[in-house]
Amino acid sequence: MNRIYLDYAATTPLDPAVSKTIRDFELKYLGNPSSVHREGQQARAEIDFARAAIAKFLNAKPQEIIFTSGATEANNHAIKGVVSRALFDWGMRPHIITTELEHHSVYNVVKEMEKRGVVEATFIKPSSDGLISADQVIKEIKNNTVLISVIFVSNEIGSVLPIREIGKQLSSINSHLSTNRKVFFHVDAVQAAKFYNLNVEKLGCDLMTITAHKLYGPKGVGALYMRTGLKIDNLMSGGAQEYAMRPGTQNTAGIIGFAKAVKLLGGLEEREALGKKIGELRNQLRNSIESIPGVEMNGPMGDCRSPDNLSVTVRDIDQDSLITALDLAGIAASTGSACVSGSSEPSHVIQALGKITDSQSATVRFTLGKFTTEKEIKQILKIFPEIVNRLRK
């Protein structure tokens, strides 16, 4: 049985060209990039080339790119680093603005700091279709606000949030504040990089998170963009790697693969064309699944939704039973974020939409990618209704 993979938001398959680049690198270069001998400096030069490629992708400077182990580390570094520095500089409890649509590596971090009394936090509630306006965010700024952290594209329901407008309004506010009291803007762009423009200058952000394995690259490597002049504290202490912001020997092969994956994405026109193609397949899937009685779509549609995402809630079915049945039928889908797979708690994102999240409601997320075919979609359209009908009996 040929399996159908529709969980691209959890992780993407490794592109064969990226796999070859990593393999070739590991066969050719063996040095630690921090070593002064030739082998070490050759590895260091490759990291520099990769850093420049990712900086170009974001319209940033190479020295503004900090390599990490992935997006969770980068998100933690951005938030905790800003808060730690604010506590030291201000001597008062800082305020963070974020949303109820965030990935757990932002949402849970802020919730935990709020619970411990480290920060004051405002979580912006989305509309019933999963959207948030820039005005909703900006109006929550207070005298002690240090950070706004907003996801670009929701990993669970695909909402595309108004990052550029938030950045524009915040820039206007910051122009009237002293340097040490400006409000920083962090964007989790992990799900956005495949299709959208991540030009950090146009978006007006100070910090941005991306990761390789959501871009057909390797797992275990991500990046934090940090605007020049921005001072935040480190999460760890140790060596001087990554401009002394992230100590430890770099995942050199992973970084090289990351850069290759970014290059393969192409320019904005190519990414938008891929998004259009994937969106057409997603719409075929949506139109058919929505016609099943007791099935409700989660999140917005049109330009306010990422083209790869379809999240639906199916009534009168146990969630685990549905996902297991799909898996046994050869379809890899998910309930939402892979970072909380197996949790019995309902998704905070689905709850924020005002959806009923009882034991007889199953939420399933299908996310498509560049290797998804029309033949696979047609197979799912045959299998999914059969599974739903069987489980409801």
Measure the CA–CA gap between 168 and 185, rounded to whole angstroms.
11
236, 283 in Cβ contact below 8 A? Answer: no
In whole angstroms, give the CA distance from residue 68 to residue 210.
Answer: 10
Catalytic residues: 339
96 bridge partner residues: 121, 147
Contact 195, 309 (CB under 8 A): no
Q: At what angle do helices 38-58 and 252-265 cross, to 10 degrees?
A: 30
Cα-based distances in Å from 173 to 123, 161, 363: 20, 20, 40
State how far the Cα of 32 lies from the Cα of 255, in Å rounded to an integer.
13
Within 10 Å of residue 52's Cβ, how many Cβ atoms? 14
For the beta carbon of residue 138, count every other beta carbon within 10 angstroms.
18
**CA dihedral sign of residues 356, 362, 367, 373:** negative
The DSSP call for residue 334 is B
User: From CA 264, how far away is CA 228, in angstroms rounded?
Assistant: 27
